[in-house]
Amino acid sequence: MTVYAREGVAYTDSRNVADVFDKAHSVVIRAIDELRKGLNENVDTPWFIERHERNPQNGQLYRYYEMTRDGARAA
């Protein structure tokens, strides 16, 4: 799994999780959406950060999540 660090916190993203576990990215996104509904919004470090990336070929925006180690474990 690809992991990167930002401000001393390790992150991966939902696309990587989908690849590692051989799942469709849409399935991982739905699972994270459901998990986020149940999380306490007062958590100091967010487990999931919603991001968007523009496809250079078709110009469409695609949603993905960056997630901490705890978020990756929960997903």
pLDDT band at 45 (very low <50, low <70, confident <90, very high): low
Give the domain extent around 12: 4-74
Looking at residue 7, its pLDDT comes to 86
**Which one-letter amino acid corresponds to residue 44?**
D
C-alpha distances out from residue 57 to 16, 30, 38, 53, 70, Å? 21, 25, 36, 12, 33
pLDDT band at 13 (very low <50, low <70, confident <90, very high): very high
Structural domain tally of the chain?
Answer: 1
